[in-house]
């Protein structure tokens, strides 16, 4: 399988700040590739280099078989994190403009725009100005402007932020359908649950360096099965002081517990049962959320930036 995007030892520095350091990355064609990392880790800079908005200081960026040019830009759709639409322009006119910029004939752009508006329940708004739309509607219009020209590569930066569940579902269905149709999707998000559910492949970048790369199974396997997911009355208090517990990720009704290496989950269960009522106890692989926090949580953040390896990963 060929790669839709291939970055080879790419670095980018702004002044004295190294935004991306020797990053190599391959996004296989036709897959949904999750791109995660904390704020300021270099995700947007990487996406901008893929889009040729920024040029790398060193290394090569190959997109849809083209290296170092904008030649592929009409085959890419890009939804930036911060949405940008002309407030005073009518919805359909805006879509036609963005479509035309991507090389579509105006008539074809108009037809495609109407189809997508119909599909996402916005037909009635085609001739309204963007400023009259709700935030969720504007986000869907922005999404349509990204996919109108049927791109081969779709780059989505936080596509679901601020959407209600109904709109989120509609947008996710549309993305999955495009994926089934063969579109490669590079998808940057902070929503770990969404990334777990949607992405075939994940890459995490932290302080400008790649710290995770693989399928969810591969990544979870790497982080072992030292995790217990449990629900118990007064779980926090019951877990307090237990020497086998390294960290507790408190999700309110649920707790995700990381055990000392070699610790026996059965001992933890016994200790808990002796102190409180346990409703659920499951030995599990760590969630992506937990892995993310292990790598980029406050403890890791306190380490010097030069320590580019290890980031909480087991030896």
Partner 1 sequence: MTKAFTVARTEYLRAVRTRGFILGVLMMPVLMSGGFIATRISEKTADVSDRRFAVVDPDGRVAAALITAAAGRNDRGIWSSDEPRRQERPRFVPEPYEPAPGEDPVLALSERVRRGELFGFLLVGADALLPPGSGQGDDQLLWHTNTPTYDELPDWIRDEVNELARSSRFTAAGLDEALVDRLSSRVWVRTMGLARVSATGEVRKASQSSEAATIGVPLIFSMLLFVLVMSTAPALLNTVLEEKMQKIAEVLVATVDPFDLLLGKLLATASVALTLSVIYVGAGLIFARTSDVVPAAMLDAITPATLAFYVLFQVLALLSYGAIFAAIGAACTELQDAQNLMGPLMIMLMMPMFFMMPVLQHPDSPVSRIVSLIPTATPVLMMMRVSAPPGPAWWELLAALVITGGFTIFCVWAGGRIFRIGILAQGQSPSWRRLWTWLRAG
Query: Which residue ranges make up the site for partner 1 (CB under 8 A)?
Result: 48, 51, 53-54, 70, 73-74, 76, 78, 80, 82-89, 97-98, 100-102, 142, 145
CA–CA distances in Å: residue 121 to residues 130, 141, 161, 307: 15, 10, 19, 49
Instruction: State in angstroms the smallest separation of the CB of 140 from partner 1.
Output: 15
Task: Specify the residue, 87 or 197, whose C-beta has the smaller distance to partner 1.
Answer: 87
Task: Specify the residue, 138 or 205, whose C-beta has the smaller distance to partner 1.
Answer: 138
Task: Specify the residue, 187 or 223, whose C-beta has the smaller distance to partner 1.
Answer: 187
Instruction: State in angstroms the smallest separation of the CB of 45 from partner 1.
Output: 11
Task: Specify the residue, 73 or 227, whose C-beta has the smaller distance to partner 1.
Answer: 73
Task: Specify the residue, 142 or 255, whose C-beta has the smaller distance to partner 1.
Answer: 142
The whole-angstrom separation of Cα 191 and Cα 20 is 22
Task: Specify the residue, 101 or 246, whose C-beta has the smaller distance to partner 1.
Answer: 101
Instruction: State in angstroms the smallest separation of the CB of 18 from partner 1.
Output: 17
Instruction: State in angstroms the smallest separation of the CB of 78 from partner 1.
Output: 4
Instruction: Write the DSSP string, 179-218.
Output: HHTT-EEEEE-S-HHHHHHH-SEEEEEETTEEEEEE-HHH
Place of tokens 């007064």: 234
Instruction: State in angstroms the smallest separation of the CB of 130 from partner 1.
Output: 10
The whole-angstrom separation of Cα 253 and Cα 95 is 44
Instruction: State in angstroms the smallest separation of the CB of 281 from partner 1.
Output: 47
Contact 19, 44 (CB under 8 A): no
Task: Specify the residue, 130 or 195, whose C-beta has the smaller distance to partner 1.
Answer: 130
Instruction: Write the DSSP string, 30-58.
Output: T-EEEEE--TTSSHHHHHHHHTTSS--SE
Q: Which two tokens stand for residue 136?
A: 């969720």
CA dihedral (22, 27, 33, 37) in degrees, to 10, reads 0
Q: Which two tokens stand for residue 185?
A: 């999707």
Other Cβ atoms less than 10 A from the Cβ of 168: the count is 18
Instruction: State in angstroms the smallest separation of the CB of 243 from partner 1.
Output: 47
């Amino acid at each position: 399988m060929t790669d839709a995007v291939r970055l080879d030892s790419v670095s980018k520095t702004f002044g004295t700040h190294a935004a991306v350091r020797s990053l190599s990355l391959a996004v296989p064609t036709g897959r949904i590739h999750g791109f995660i990392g904390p704020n300021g880790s270099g995700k947007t800079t990487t996406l901008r280099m893929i889009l040729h908005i920024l040029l790398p200081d060193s290394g090569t960026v190959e997109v849809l078989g083209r290296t170092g040019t904008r030649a592929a830009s009409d085959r890419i759709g890009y939804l930036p994190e911060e949405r940008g639409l002309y407030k005073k322009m009518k919805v359909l006119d805006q879509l036609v403009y963005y479509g035309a910029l991507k090389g579509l004939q105006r008539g074809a752009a108009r037809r495609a725009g109407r189809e997508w508006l119909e599909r996402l329940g916005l037909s009635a708004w085609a001739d309204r100005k963007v400023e009259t739309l709700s935030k969720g509607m504007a986000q869907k219009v922005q999404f349509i402007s990204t996919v109108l020209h049927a791109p081969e590569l779709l780059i989505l930066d936080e596509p679901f932020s601020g959407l209600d569940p109904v709109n989120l579902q509609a947008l996710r269905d549309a993305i999955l359908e495009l994926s089934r149709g063969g579109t490669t999707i590079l998808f940057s998000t902070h929503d770990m649950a969404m990334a777990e559910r949607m992405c075939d492949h994940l890459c995490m970048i932290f302080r400008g360096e790649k710290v995770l790369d693989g399928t969810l199974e591969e990544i979870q396997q790497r982080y072992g099965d030292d995790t217990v997911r449990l629900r118990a009355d007064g779980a926090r208090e019951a877990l307090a002081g237990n020497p086998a517990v390294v960290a507790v990720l408190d999700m309110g009704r649920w707790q995700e517990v990381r055990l000392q290496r070699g610790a026996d989950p059965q001992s933890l269960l016994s200790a808990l049962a002796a102190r409180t009522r346990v409703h659920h106890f499951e030995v599990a692989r760590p969630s992506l959320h937990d892995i993310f926090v292990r790598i980029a949580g406050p403890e890791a953040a306190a380490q010097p930036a030069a320590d580019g390896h290890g980031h909480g990963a087991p030896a």
